[in-house]
Structure 1
């Protein structure tokens, strides 16, 4: 199916539109400064993600901010340090300031001329409004992974065909065609493990423009 044949895009928020890893790394700096040494970014982020994964079953109880706060405190404890609740919540609230990838705003502006844009991610309700404004979508088009992980609240029949724009590390959790964005890869694997494999949102725009010319 060509890109121009889809009616909607279901776009994952973090690491597709929002530079989550850079946001987490920046917010961890006070803790890392106290720890000392010169830790490498990737191992620290891998350790943080492992802690988040153990806490995720409690998402409904904790919310996104609570999950990040507990992850921060557990990470500190694993390093033999103590982090206060205030420090944990300061870390958690940094999520509202995580930056968009440079190509995301322009790509969203272009793509919404051709598709209904749905964004899928983890955010507390009080943070969604600002994020939706930054992305140029209405609040109803932000789909909470915690509240609706498989998109059951959406009437897919009214939107189909839908293309799921996601990261290579995310499994096919939604029964839709997929476009894999490997922002940190020097080149995409061949053959592609989905309908499309691209390097950025800007690349998606370029591929769509090519499709229009065919």
Structure 2
């Protein structure tokens, strides 16, 4: 199937619409400064999200989850695990900032797809970002926890009529089409391998969609 063949688009907001990775790296910088040979930013984020998946549950709000993961990473990296420092860190990791291409991309994509934007933020946290995006009520799913967001994406991605747009890996047993936005690939050409589309930004994804439209017209 081509990008234009799917009637519904599910967007995992983190990493696609909003940049929270930068605030995570900045918030962990006091820990990293204590290390003789700190891991690279990519490695830090890999460790962070691995711990997030392993240690959080659906009853945890985002603040509690960030705090627990902070303490777990401190222990993993051989540093003192300080709960108060974890609370301070959790307070610095906010909803993040929108990528510049996000508002225009949403305006374009809703012309071609039924949109569902899934976020681990709660309604209050998501509202500040949504002022610039302008999602309709039926287009947003502010789940309030990382686990609930993953569960929602997993359920939606069981539908083969859905195209999933995510910065992370596809869910296990994904029946949907899958497109990964990897912003670290900036400057590289879009690629498709093993039925997975890869783009460096939302803007690149839209260019791919426009190319598919032109092929249909021609």
TM-score tier (shorter) = 0.7 to 0.9
What secondary structure, in the 3-state scheme, does the structure 2 residue paired with 1:28 have? helix
Q: What is the TM-score normalised by the length of structure 1? A: 0.77
Deviations, residues 5-50 of structure 1 (Å, cap 9, x unaligned): 43221011122222232221012123334x2546232332233233
Deviations, residues 129-184 of structure 1 (Å, cap 9, x unaligned): 22333433134433336336145887x99xx8321112363334542122222332
Distance of 1:151 and 1:46 partners within structure 2: 20
Match of 1:51 in 2: 51
Does structure 2 conserve the Cα–Cα contact (< 8 Å) formed by 1:128 and 1:139? no
Aligned Cα root-mean-square deviation (Å): 3.1
Q: What is the TM-score normalised by the length of structure 2? A: 0.76
Give 1:1-214 correspondences, 5 Å limit.
1-33=1-33, 35-37=34-36, 39=38, 40-56=40-56, 59-78=57-76, 79-85=78-84, 87-143=85-141, 144=143, 146-147=147-148, 149-150=151-152, 161-167=161-167, 169-172=169-172, 174-185=174-185, 186=188, 192-194=193-195, 196-213=197-214, 214=217
Deviations, residues 96-144 of structure 1 (Å, cap 9, x unaligned): 3412233222212221233222112322343122233343313443333
Count, aligned residues = 206
Distance of 1:30 and 1:162 partners within structure 2: 41
Structure 1 gap segments, 5+ residues each: none
Distance of 1:63 and 1:128 partners within structure 2: 14
Deviations, residues 53-80 of structure 1 (Å, cap 9, x unaligned): 3213xx2232222111111122223432
Distance of 1:134 and 1:94 partners within structure 2: 22
Distance of 2:124 and 2:200 partners within structure 1: 31
Structure 2 gap segments, 5+ residues each: none
